[in-house]
Amino acid sequence: MACAMLSTRGIVDVSDPPLLQIRGLSISYPSERGAIGALRGIDLELAAGECLSVVGESGSGKTQLLLAILGLSAPSAQVRGSIRHRGQELVGMRAAQLNRIRGKRIGMVFQDPMTALNPYLHVGAQITEVLRQHEGVRGRAAEQRAIELLESLHMPEAAQRMRQYPHELSGGMRQRAMIAIALIARPEILLADEPSTALDVTVQAQVLSLFRELRERTGTAIVLVTHDLGVTAELADRVAVMYAGRVVEQADVRTLFESPRHPYTEALQASIPRTDAALPTHLPSIAGTSPDPAALPPGCAFAPRCLYRLPVCQMNPPALIESTAAHWKACHYDGVLGKIRGDAA
């Protein structure tokens, strides 16, 4: 996928091979009602140093996507397709090899730091063990590096925190600890699963600015999974919108917000009340409900709720194609969107 990308955060050199290349990734789970497809043919790429935000509602499969990259899907999951990291195929890789990538080349921040940290171990131990495993650094040296990292993440009284247990820390501090765990071995990719969702709003803002700092300082590539468009607007270079296990639109962040080409994206944006315009008389929402992954309609999964529905939409699922430069969408409707925006009623 050769393209020139200009983002507000600088020019990314696309002659670098993509850090992450996902092709046709599908994950299904066996259940009493037949196989449930959590991911149905995902194509994505991540270039060095860029921040890719994956946006979708609960059940769209975005967390599954992240887990699959590190081989952390549930044992019953059937994973098909390809995930290449610098050319190495991660799907089906043996655990011993995968363990050399986990934590060291690709780090992950999980959604709820309270449950994602081991309540029986000191926070410091949970950070330094990553160093011990991947760089052989132990003892005082490892602790030193952990403390430095925590301080750079603005953790108050970092040295004391190292010897405390997760339940003794506040939510924001726990999240910083999680981020430290993911970053201490200096991975080139950071996978972040809703990093601010489980936190209070004020702490959310802090965590987001942490991420921004991180990008500016270290140039780590980030895959940021979120359902919050605001977070996406703040941090992302490029955005992929997911619905019912598929990517339905992909573009750089500015383009996506200014001229979305998929009805779902348009509807998402429209459902957020804007503070710079008069409040509408009723909040627009997307009619209908999220589809049941076990009972997906034939054709496009969004069709039942789509305002631009064509007859073909209910028969053939649309493929993800590049409609304009670096702007991909999976939709049969080629006309101009705008039914929702601009109408206040």
Partner 1 sequence: MLRYAVHRFLSAIPTLLLVATLAFVLLHAAPGGPFDSDKRILPAIQQSIEAKYHLDEPLWRQYLRYLSDLGRGDLGPSFQYRGTSVNEIIAQGFPVDLTVGAAAIVLALIIGVAIGINAALRRGSSEDYGSMAIAIVGISTPVFVVAPLLVLVFAVNLHWLPAGDWVGGSVKHLVLPSVALALPYIAYIARLMRASTIEVMNSPFIRTARSKGLPLRVIILRHALRPTLTPLVSFLGPAIAGLITGSIVVESVFGLPGIGRYFLTGALNRDYTLVVGITVLYGALIVLFNLLADLCYALIDPRVRLR
* Chain residues in the site for partner 1 (CB under 8 A): 70, 72, 95-96, 98-104, 107-108, 110, 112, 115-121, 129-130, 133-134, 165, 167-168, 178, 181-182
Query: Which phi and psi (to 5°) does residue 206 adopt?
Result: -60, -45
Cβ 185 to partner 1, closest distance in Å?
Answer: 8
CA distances from 35 to 26, 142, 245, 293, 319 (A): 12, 45, 14, 9, 22
Cβ 149 to partner 1, closest distance in Å?
Answer: 15
Measured in whole angstroms, how far is the alpha carbon of residue 35 from the centre of its chain?
25
Phi-psi sector, 237: left (phi>0), alpha (psi -120 to 50), beta: alpha
Cβ 54 to partner 1, closest distance in Å?
Answer: 17
Q: Which is nearer to partner 1, 4 or 96 (CB)?
A: 96
Q: Which is nearer to partner 1, 26 or 126 (CB)?
A: 126
Q: Which is nearer to partner 1, 127 or 301 (CB)?
A: 127
Cβ 25 to partner 1, closest distance in Å?
Answer: 18
Cβ 266 to partner 1, closest distance in Å?
Answer: 35
CA distances from 306 to 49, 191, 215 (A): 35, 31, 36
Q: Which is nearer to partner 1, 135 or 234 (CB)?
A: 135
Count of alpha carbons within 13 angstroms of residue 241, beta-carbon side: 29
Q: Which is nearer to partner 1, 118 or 316 (CB)?
A: 118
β-pairing, 20-29 with 221-226? unpaired
Cβ 104 to partner 1, closest distance in Å?
Answer: 6
Q: Which is nearer to partner 1, 39 or 247 (CB)?
A: 39
233 touches 307 (CB < 8 A): no
List, as one string, the DSSP characters of 55-102: E--TTSSHHHHHHHHTT-S-TT-EEEEEEEETTEE-TT--HHHHHHHB
Q: Which is nearer to partner 1, 171 or 284 (CB)?
A: 171
Cβ 103 to partner 1, closest distance in Å?
Answer: 4
